[in-house]
Structure 1
Amino acid sequence: MKDIHSNMNVATLIGTAALSADNTPAAVDMQGYAAGEVIINVGIGGITFSGTNKVEFKLTHSDDDTTYTAVADSDVLGVTSVGAGGIVKSLVAAHAAAAGYRVGYIGGKRYLKLLADFSGTHGAATPIGAVVIQGHAHSQPVADQE
């Protein structure tokens, strides 16, 4: 086996919680890393998602941690296309089992934010969490996280 541990870090984009409304996106600083992989984890849907009652995950990026813009198709890998406002994943149908989704970030900006944007009525919460794996560290080994 090869050592991936010494070449990466994990930073929280959305702290794991049962959500029924938009989160407040936290900025993640990508300085010191040459790659990013966004991992979105979703538990069993608290409601039956539809085109009206949905959750859309919107990825934005910034050079200065002040002005954020939506990612475009050319900024990400692993999605068919990016929707309006940086939508990289939409929950618009029944979600009966927990699942994980990944989006590669190649946009080159220093800061990332991920919004879980809730639309419609969400009478019951859905477990959601997201991290970004920061890879290809410029300085290795990366310190252990505790």
Structure 2
Amino acid sequence: MFAYTTEDVLVWAVRKAINTLDWVPDSLSGNGTDTEGPEFDALDTARMDLIAAAKLVDHYSDGRPIESRIDIEDGVFTTHVWPYRATNLGEQLLYTNRRSADPGEDHGAYSVFANESTCTLRVELHEPRPRHLRRV
């Protein structure tokens, strides 16, 4: 089991907050919410402050990276913030998603796996479904 410090917990919380502050405005604007205004400007300022602080530390006190990035396909990547206290020491599926495609096309899917003990990410690409099995 990995030991952790108070700084590790704070650094982890900052990275998780940055990811949330990156995702929420995009999600809201995609749902038709107007994200132009002082409230969203304040969120963006807070996000930028957290990013500046996060650049000061890139590894936990035990030497593990705080965050990893892996390319899924050209122009598509994912990041993962490692927990400050690794509890799952084997490879686990994080999520599966469809690969980018124009409407009506199927380029298959991908699965992202994480291993907390080695702080490694792995992407598995899946072929498109046969046309007769696709949802319309």
For the criterion TM > 0.5, the same-fold answer is no
Q: Give the structure with the higher percent strand.
A: 1
Q: TM-score, normalised by structure 1?
A: 0.28
Q: Give the structure with the higher percent helix.
A: 2
Structure with bigger gyration radius? 2
